[in-house]
Amino acid sequence: MAKKQQKPFTLITGGTSGIGYELAKLLAKDGHNLVIVARSQKELDQVAQSLNSTYKVDVIPLAKDLFNRKAAFEVYDFVKSQGIQIEILVNDAGQGQYGEFINTDIEREVDIIELNIVSLVTLTKLFLIDMVGRKSGKILNLASIASKVPGPFQAVYHGTKAFVHSFTEAIRAEVKESGVVVTSLLPGATATDFFRKADMLNSKIVQDPDKLSDPADVAMDGYNALMNGDDMVVSGFKNKMQVAMSNVTPDEIVAKNMYKQQEPVNENENK
């Protein structure tokens, strides 16, 4: 393990697909050894083997269900038990649920809050304490442009991302003199498995694949922002414009516009 301690290690949650996987590739290409966390051991093993063979870095697959409150603590305990020093933490794992709030499953929504907020806060606190102690480290938290706008049909998801972005900006201000970088990444709708998991394939916003961002482009924007020490980055020109407009538009109108973007293609199919 002494050899591994001499190399930078990055821990990525949700590192087997989408933006998390693309970030894993960028980091591995730059020589970072990885701890990738997801629920599926099979997918973890496949991704770990691929990254190892392509980039010749150490990749440790760690199967944990971050819907479970104890899992984030178990991730940290595992890392410490292996003598691994995490130089970069990427909190990518997150899910949503589609539908009007009065009709959606509250148990699933509570799970989403556990994943999107509680696990992220727990991992951030545990690793940030270590980073501040040694005066070095970086944290990238996956927020979303959803953090900037009310989200009809995804009320809980947008709410969790608003928390993530506000939380990230706040702790960045607290540790700004410590040598630790904390960055918030705000992508828009991206071509990942998010929409299938959220039962959202019937939403208007996902009907045109050409309008969805490429996860590789989003990952590159986030990676560059983190390495540059930026506080946040909105990925994609159209998303930058949307956030800029929402900042000067009353929330009621922003919510109404988002309602039109995210409503079902055919309302009857959802009744």
Residues carrying an active site annotation: 157
Residue 114 DSSP label: I
Q: 194 pairs with which residues across the strands?
A: none
Structure tokens of 184? 């918030």
**CA–CA separation, 40 and 167 (whole Å):** 28
C-beta of residue 172 within 8 angstroms of C-beta of residue 221: no
Max Cα-Cα span within the chain: 61
Find the DSSP H helices in 56-201: 69-81, 106-113, 120-134, 155-174, 194-197
**CA–CA separation, 131 and 87 (whole Å):** 8
Q: Rounded to a whole number, what is the distance in angstroms from the first to the last CA of the chain?
A: 56
CA atoms within 13 A on the CB side of 111: 13
Helix axes 41-55, 18-29, angle to 10 degrees: 30
